Structure 1
């Protein structure tokens, strides 16, 4: 069990490397948001595309706190870039739950890692939740894309639509995680993930 106890320097370096890869994937997929309606499928698409990256990370770092730290880096960067507090607070809650689920599977269970990633993937929904929880500041931020874009986004982001966005994020996470499992079968076997 010592293996799971504390993160070592090597693990922190791995977290750093995977954080950079994940952020690049997140930013690239996020470019679809230039078309407002596509913003609603962004979390689902991000889950499908980033699943392989995060599942590989889970195979490599089977220690407590790893998924929490990895998951907090992108929202911290977003807030530093001018986003509201919403993605950060939202991510803290999501990552605590994802970490707890992963721990339930002793960090090695494929089933619990998949569920953990599906939950992890919902953190990006916090970006859209800014429209509902910090509307004035978010609208001000979106104005850089123009009034027409901002108005379209304001109409699209409702509590009803967000329910579907969260569902899409979970499904996208499960699909992406499963694809990651298929693509990384050898890594999973070597890591002893069952």
Structure 2
């Protein structure tokens, strides 16, 4: 049996962690009900999701594990009305993150942290829809949240603000990965989880 191939156990782990990740993402995403906080949620989630994804990467440190895990939430978002921008650009970030892990041979702590920081950028794509497919996205937002909310979001999502969102999310992703690594060493390794 090839130790680098995903097993049924790995696929089950991907599913379990994807559910935990998606529930936490949804909870953090609720802060977006306040329009200005809509810009903050990708960075906030990059920080909070760090320990979850770092533990996942420690448990499933094989090729394509992060890619499969990372594409579940964007595909669900697409099924619930988001545009193709979310899964397509998320695929790009997930492939890049997977490549960084591969360069670190799935064992390097610094490569894993950098991989997570890149991976954590994918939620920014849900905001980027506003710039790339504005009409379609505004239709969805107004239908779900109302016209006043839609107008507020339209004013907030600019090219400059999106650049700030991506940079802050990357930095918070690095910090989230650092926190995740600390938790892994302090708690999970001692408990024998990893």
- What TM-score bracket applies, with the shorter chain setting the length? over 0.9
Residue in structure 2 matched with residue 114 of structure 1 by the alignment = 113
Q: How does 1:23-34 map to 2 (within 5 A)?
A: 23-34=22-33
Q: Which residue of 2 aligns with 1:149?
A: 149
Alignment length (residue pairs): 190
Give 1:79's aligned residue: 78
Aligned runs of 1:176-191 on 2, under 5 Å? 176-185=176-185, 187=188
Q: 2: CA distance between counterparts of 1:10 and 1:108? A: 19
2:89 alignment counterpart: 90
2:7 corresponds to 1:38: no
Q: 8 Å contact 1:6–1:64 — kept in the other structure? A: yes
Alignment gaps of 5+ in structure 1? none
Give 2:172's aligned residue: 172
TM-score by length of 2: 0.94
The alpha-carbon deviation at position 191 of structure 1 amounts to: 8.9
In the alignment, is the contact (CA less than 8 A) between 1:122 and 1:169 conserved in 2? Answer: yes
Runs (4+) off by over 3 Å? 186-192
SS at match of 2:83: coil
Q: C-alpha displacement at 1:67, in angstroms?
A: 0.4
1:51-92 CA-partner distances (Å, limit 9, x unpaired) = 100000011011000000000000000001111111011111
Contact 1:48 1:175 in 2 (8 A): yes
1:59 aligns with 2:58: yes
Deviation for aligned residue 1:134: 0.8
Structure 1-normalised TM-score?
Answer: 0.94
SS for the counterpart of 1:122 is coil
Q: 1:107 to 1:188 in 2, by over 3 A?
A: farther
Q: Is the 8 A contact 1:67 1:95 kept in 2?
A: yes
Structure-2 residue corresponding to 1:163 = 163
RMSD: 1.5
Greater displacement, 55-64 / 177-186: 177-186
Query: For the residues of structure 2 that align with 1:67 and 1:51, how far apart are their CA atoms?
Result: 13
